[in-house]
Amino acid sequence: GAVVSQHPSRVICKSGTSVKIECRSLDFQATTMFWYRQFPKKSLMLMATSNEGSKATYEQGVEKDKFLINHASLTLSTLTVTSAHPEDSSFYICSAARLAVYNEQFFGPGTRLTVL
Amino acid sequence: QQQVKQSPQSLIVQKGGISIINCAYENTAFDYFPWYQQFPGKGPALLIAIRPDVSEKKEGRFTISFNKSAKQFSLHIMDSQPGDSATYFCAAPTNAGGTSYGKLTFGQGTILTVHP
């Protein structure tokens, strides 16, 4: 149990375009999902917390207008990178939390974004 | 704000040996300490977690030891195998509730290499 999927797994786009990444909890309901960014050989950097039915909470220094997050249901959250630029190239990972079991997060497989 | 310090940064172990990774945290309102395993190009996978009403938890070859007074916890991998070669992250709750609820702060990661 506790499977989280992400789509797409890899995306290459041109500078200036927008990219949407989907995160789904497949076998449990997640009232909260988290979006992380990870640079090569580095730790996980939390970008934002996504709660179903409410606005996302962004970490300090994360541009909310560039990284749009929508959590439309208990099993789906989306991250849209708007007007992507090469510096947005990174590995983006979501996690879904079963908060009845507090702090327990299950991660998706990640999305590799390359902006040309 | 929570800080989690993880050591060593990298670890090389011979097959059959014991791998030990340590983490220290500053403070937390919740007692939940997970370890994640990440292979290159993949999302982190929850390996084992402890809620310290106990000082030790064992699952197969993996053991978490917890020292609440010292604010430290460690991961022990017994009979290490080449397939265990991965990056390991510890995590601790990002402090008190409110907007921090459910968040995890991650250590810097340890790259484990198990030689055959």
Nearest to B103 among A42, A46, A106 (CB): A46
pLDDT digits (tens, 9 = 90+) for A17-55: 999 999 999 998 888 899 999 999 899 999 999 988 888
Residue A28 or B99, more confident: A28
Is A4 a residue whose pLDDT tops 70? yes
Top-confidence range, B20-24, B65-69, B98-102: B20-24
Percent of chain A having pLDDT more than 70?
95
Chain segment B31-62, per-residue pLDDT in tens: 789 999 999 999 999 999 998 688 899 999 99
- Min distance A97 CA to chain B CA atoms (Å): 7
Instruction: Name the interface residues of A facing B (CB cutoff 8 Å).
Output: 2, 4, 6, 32, 34, 41-44, 46, 49, 57, 93, 95, 97, 99, 102-110, 112
CA distance A65 to chain B (A): 20
Omega prior to B8 cis, within 30 of 0: yes
Position B103 confidence tier, pLDDT thresholds 50, 70, 90 = confident
Residues in chain A: 116
- Select from A32, A102, A108 the Cβ nearest to the Cβ of B43: A108
HEC string for chain A: CCCEEEECCEEEECCCCCEEEEEEECCCCCCEEEEEEECCCCCEEEEEEEECCCCCEECCCCCCCCEEEEEEECCEEEEEECCCCHHHCEEEEEEEECCCCCCCEEECCCEEEEEC
Contacting residues of B for A108, CB less than 8 Å apart: 43
The pLDDT score that the predictor gives to residue A99 is 62
Q: What per-residue confidence (pLDDT) applies to B18?
A: 98
Q: Cβ contact (<8 Å) for B103 and A41?
A: no
pLDDT for B24: 96
